């Protein structure tokens, strides 16, 4: 078993993936045609060529334009089903997927269509592939706190089926502490919570999220690597960080994967894990992220297993599901070493 096979078969959780950003170009064009929406790109090839971004804001302009092709419940179902099929093929046991309903409800799309499509696809995928999945309802930090609170009220009928609450969008200039009332209410309602912090924003944003928000994990968090005191704090409290290396690379957060802080953070004992963010836009799903990091950062099988273990430990899955998955990761690592030891012995003979 080589490293690529090890990664492919490694049980893992995908905790940081935006459904709006999972649109493969072919599906984006297909949904546009189905819904009679004209696109500014003349072809699939032209759209792919547009996947060169100067920064997060540059990417988000294209990202939000792509959201226009979502219109019906079937659209939300189809995109969710397509991603979960791909995730299952990549050895993902647990997927927690973001979608921000504000991008759609402001255009008059009923919340019922969004919830019905996503939750229906999650249920069907579990029946067909066995994948465990949850919908994390995300709000936009560039909108008002009042708008975010309205989202919490609106999703109340589906509260039992929602895996958690999150917040994303443009980070610089929008510190997380402003949304304290929103997060306090989400926690009071019993939701698990997560927040994007430390993608492009400074370490101070991560510290503010820790100090002011009742959160269960942080999405990204990579800018913490420049703050030794913050690194110590994150290691001590084992706050899960859902890191997206290829996203960081494509959005110019780091000049190369070779200087990405993932390995440094892992070695410092932080609960980091690897995810895809918006896979078609950034050049890879979770396995492509793991493989690229394995090569660039010289990650060992133990490192990769630790990342997978952390992904389950940071998930919002039931404790017994997490425990089963951690045992499976450890077994996979043991099997890898046993198979390679056996291969070496056969080769010696």
Give residue 330's domain range.
Answer: 3-344
- In the set 73, 171, 199, 200, the catalytic residue is 199
Q: Is the pLDDT of residue 310 over 50?
A: yes
At 342, the pLDDT band (50, 70, 90 cuts) reads low
Three-state SS at 199: coil
Any idea which of 49-53, 121-125, 343-347 has the lowest mean pLDDT? 343-347
pLDDT above 80 (res 346): no
Residue 349 is assigned to a structural domain of this protein: no
At 109 the three-state DSSP class reads coil
- Residue 187 in any domain: the answer is yes
The per-residue pLDDT of the chain, averaged, comes to 95
Residue 74: how many other CB atoms lie within 10 Å: 15
Q: Is residue 75 part of a domain?
A: yes
Question: What is the CATH number for 209?
Answer: 3.20.20.140
Measured between alpha carbons, how far is 222 from 81 in angstroms, rounded to an integer? 30
In sequence order, what are the beta bridge partners of 139?
Answer: 167
62: closest CA among 34, 30, 23, 101? 23
Instruction: Based on the residue annotation, tell me whether 199 is a catalytic residue of this protein.
Output: yes
| pLDDT digit string, tens, across residues 226-267 | 999 999 999 999 999 999 999 999 999 999 999 999 999 999
pTM: 0.95
Nearest to 194 by CA among 100, 322, 316, 103: 316
Taking residues 337-346, report their average pLDDT. Answer: 68
Q: Number of structural domains, the chain?
A: 1
Q: Specify the pLDDT at position 347.
A: 42
Each residue's pLDDT tens digit, 180-221: 999 999 999 999 999 999 999 999 999 999 999 999 999 999
Whether 142 is in a domain gets the answer: yes
Give the separation between CA 335 and CA 234, rounded to whole angstroms.
31
């Amino acid at each position: 078993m080589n490293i690529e096979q090890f990664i492919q078969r490694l049980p893992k959780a995908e905790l940081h993936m935006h459904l709006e950003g999972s649109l493969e170009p072919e599906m984006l064009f297909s949904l546009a045609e189905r819904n009679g929406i004209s696109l500014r790109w003349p072809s699939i090839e032209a759209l792919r060529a547009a996947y060169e971004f100067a920064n997060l804001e540059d990417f988000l302009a294209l990202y939000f334009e792509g959201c226009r092709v979502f219109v019906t419940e079937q659209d939300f179902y189809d995109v969710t089903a397509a991603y979960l099929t791909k995730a299952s093929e990549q050895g993902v046991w647990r997927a927690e997927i973001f979608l921000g309903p504000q991008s759609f409800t402001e255009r008059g799309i009923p919340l019922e269509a969004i919830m019905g499509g996503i939750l229906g696809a999650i249920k069907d995928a579990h029946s067909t592939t066995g994948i465990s999945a949850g919908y994390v309802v995300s709000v936009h930090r560039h909108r008002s706190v009042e708008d975010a609170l309205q989202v919490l009220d609106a999703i109340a009928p589906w509260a039992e089926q929602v895996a958690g609450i999150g917040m994303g969008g443009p980070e610089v200039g929008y510190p997380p502490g402003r949304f304290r009332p929103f997060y306090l209410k989400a926690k009071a309602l019993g939701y698990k919570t997560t927040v994007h912090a430390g993608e492009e924003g400074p370490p101070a944003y991560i510290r503010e999220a820790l100090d002011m928000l009742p959160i269960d994990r942080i999405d990204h968090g990579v800018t913490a690597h420049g703050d030794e005191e913050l690194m110590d704090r994150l290691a001590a409290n084992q706050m899960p960080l859902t890191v997206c290396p290829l996203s960081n690379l494509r959005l110019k957060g780091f000049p190369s994967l070779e200087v990405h802080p993932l390995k440094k953070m892992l070695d410092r004992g932080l609960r980091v894990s690897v995810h895809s963010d918006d896979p078609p836009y950034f050049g890879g799903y979770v396995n492509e992220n793991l493989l690229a990091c394995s090569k660039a950062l010289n990650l060992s099988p133990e490192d990769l297993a630790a990342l997978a273990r952390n992904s389950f430990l940071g998930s919002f899955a039931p404790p017994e599901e997490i425990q089963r998955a951690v045992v499976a990761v450890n077994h996979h690592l043991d099997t890898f070493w046993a198979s390679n030891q056996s291969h070496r012995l056969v080769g010696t003979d």
